[in-house]
Structure 1
Amino acid sequence: MAHGEADPSGRQQTLLVLNKITEILNAFTLTRPAMTLGEIQQTTGLPTSTVQRLVSNMVAQGLLDRVGDHIRIGIRMSYWAATARKDVDVLAVVNPVLKDMRDETTETACFFTVEQNFRVCIAVAETHHALRREMYVGKVIPLHVGSASRVLLAWNPALAEKVLSTPLEQLADRTVTSADELRALIAHTRSDGYAITAGERDDSASGLSAPVFDSAGDILGAVTISGPTLRMPRRRCEEWIDLLVGYAEQITRTLGGRPPNPSPAV
């Protein structure tokens, strides 16, 4: 090989190592933010010796953090993610994902954020069905009803307590108006990592929502699939849980977000 000429085998080996590092990082999800070495090995399918060697090196470089027997994404990654996200347009990331969700489920997909004591739809991909729930960019909805509200409160305890301290208006037959009951449902949502509701805002409508997080691990918004309960009974919503959570995690990762540190529920 001539002097100064790159070694193709060396480049190939570097790419193989990078692929394995990527597999390890991708093994962590918002619903599984911490794992043991054995769990990482089972998830990735990489040889145990490879996992042990790469994880040790990744911990040393700050890509991963080790707490006892468990490994999680390193805090140093948040620093890099914050830089990456600085000029990222949230809607430019969210809108294509919502269209994919709409096309896969055939139902309306939305993204909600918090504005004072309300949630606001900032992006939507509408269903092509003639029978649909009314939804549009800018729609304002009270924070005590629906799956998106449940998610937005579950990872914002201070806001949840603020909402729970006010009268909860009855908007539909199944609206939760008891602060104690809603507090328990919010805690359940945080434990599950998603929320399913039906008939809380509209008597004949259902919703399924999951959280999106920013680089600090704070909740950024809720991604939602919504539609008539006729097409979205509880069973159908449960079938879409993995799909929805996967899309929510995709948005979080693309925006440079990370799972929040475990903390007590409301």
Structure 2
Amino acid sequence: MDKLSTVHKPKYPVQTLEKALEIIEVMYKEGVGGLGISELDNKLGIGKSTIHRILDTLMAYNYVEKCAESTKYRLSWKFFEIGNLIPQQRNLSNLNMEDLQELCNKYEETVNLGVRVDDSVVIISRIDPKSTLVANVPIGTREPLHATGMGKVILSELSKEELIRIFGDSPLKSCTPNTISSLDDLMIQLDKIREQGYSIDDEEFYPGLSCIAMPIRNYKREIVAAVSVSGPSMRLNFTKIMNIKKDLEKTCNILSNYLGYNENAANE
């Protein structure tokens, strides 16, 4: 059976615990309707007596239950109860801002964290570099979804019907000469953003300011926020933006993983 993690290897592995976790993994993935001791032994090869002792202990702690009128075992609702607590303990307010600070320090540009509120993106966290001139955009500022990097990343997940509900049939509000002004043009750009995984704001909201933005996803694979690195267009040329992209992607993956997003599961 595949090992559970390729990231962390235990220094002092507990073999009985490892076997118990392997049993839980098999029951989770293949145990619809329950699995018997012989079935588990055929899949794991760790011995029927070992499996029986482990199942007996798991039953004592209410993690496993015996199927009615059967010799098979299945996971109990306790896993569901535990799983439901995790999203409450891991939310945007608990994200590690040190990851955003590292981005800011490395590129000496402003790093923003934003979420969607109605037809706007609201900046809920902002880290400014100490050594360079930056735009004064305070936390809590509402910016239009269609005219910002973070906003367009958030919009990229929405359907055509949802976009129409947000913007209607009227022309989109122009903030600068570079702002996308029609819903059709916006949809074309959102298709590109969805494909490439990032959005660029080329002076579409603030004249002279550009940014690159990427999404943060949760355990449901939904985009719940976005992170952008922004600065004066004269500093954020294409080469620098592409360099930032590599580190921004890593940062957003770390934050998404904290919220339960599993990229491998998304690709299965």
Task: Identify whether the pair has TM-score above 0.5, normalized to the shorter chain.
Answer: yes
Where do residues 211-222 of structure 1 align in structure 2 (5 Å cutoff)? 211-222=215-226
Task: Say if 2:125 is the partner of 1:126.
Answer: no
152 and 169 in structure 1: CA distance in 2 versus 1, 3 angstrom threshold = same
SS of the aligned residue for 1:144 comes to helix
CA distance in 2, matches of 1:132, 1:258: 35
User: Is the Cα–Cα contact under 8 Å of residues 115 and 226 in structure 2 kept in the other structure?
Assistant: yes
1:204 is aligned, of 208, 224, 227, to 208
Where does 1:136-215 land on structure 2 (aligned, <5 Å)? 136-157=138-159, 159-165=162-168, 166-215=170-219
CA contact (8 A) 1:213 1:258 kept: no
Give the drift of 1:257: 2.6
After superposition, the C-alpha distances for 1:183-240 in whole angstroms (9 at most, x for unaligned) are 0001110111111121101121111111111111111100111111111112211121
| Structure 1 residue 178 displacement after superposition | 1.9
Which residue number corresponds to residue 110 of structure 2? 108
Decide which moves more: 96-105 or 77-86. 77-86
Asked if structure 2 preserves the Cα contact closer than 8 Å seen for 1:81 and 1:256, the reply is no
Measured against aligned partners, the alpha-carbon deviations of 1:52-102 in whole angstroms (never above 9, x if no partner) come to: xxxx999845579xxxxxxxxxxxx99976532312342331422211211
- Deviation for aligned residue 1:258: 3.6
Q: Quick check: 1:106–1:127 contact (8 Å CA) kept in 2?
A: yes
Question: CA–CA distance in 2 between the matches of 1:89 and 1:167?
Answer: 35
Compared CA separation, residues 195 and 57, structure 1 to 2 (3 A): farther
Q: What is the TM-score normalised by the length of structure 1?
A: 0.67
After superposition, the Cα gap between the structure-2 partners of 1:100 and 1:183, relative to the gap in structure 1 and judged at 3 Å, is same
Q: Residues of 2 paired with 1:136 and 1:79: CA distance? A: 39
1:92 corresponds in structure 2 to 94
Check whether the contact 1:111–1:123 (CA below 8 A) recurs between aligned residues: yes
AA of the residue aligned to 2:106:
E
The residue type equivalent to 1:21 in the other structure is L
Equivalent residue for 1:226?
230
* Equivalences, count: 203
Task: State the secondary structure of the residue aligned to 1:240.
Answer: helix
1:166-186 deviations in Å (ceiling 9; x for gaps): 431110121110211110001
Alpha-carbon contact 1:154-1:160 (below 8 Å) kept: no
Indicate how the Cα distance of structure 1 residues 98 and 203 shifts in structure 2: closer, same or farther if over 3 A, else same: same
Quick check: 1:210–1:224 contact (8 Å CA) kept in 2? yes
Could you tell me how far apart the structure 2 residues matched to 1:155 and 1:104 are? 29
Distance in 2 of aligned mates of 1:171 and 1:86: 38
Give the aligned residue type for 1:117: D
Partner of residue 21, structure 1: 4
Letter in 2 for 1:201: F
Q: Distance in 2 between matches of 1:161 and 1:234?
A: 32
- CA-to-partner distance for each residue in 1:126-182, whole Å, 9 max, x for gaps? 122442122221010011102111101001325433334243111012111021111
Q: Is the 8 A contact 2:90 2:258 kept in 1?
A: no
CA contact (8 A) 2:115 2:121 kept: yes
Query: What do the CA deviations read for 1:12-55 (whole angstroms, capped 9, x no partner)?
Result: xxxxx99x532289xxxxxxxxxxxxxxxxxxxxxxxxxxxxxx
Shift in alpha-carbon separation, 1:230–1:129, aligned structure 2, 3 A? farther
How do residues 48-87 of structure 1 correspond to structure 2 at under 5 angstroms? Answer: 60=26, 62=28, 82-87=84-89
Normalising to structure 2: TM-score of the pair? Answer: 0.67
Matched residues in 1 for 2:218 and 2:29: separation? 18
Gaps (5+ residues) in structure 2? 9-21, 31-78
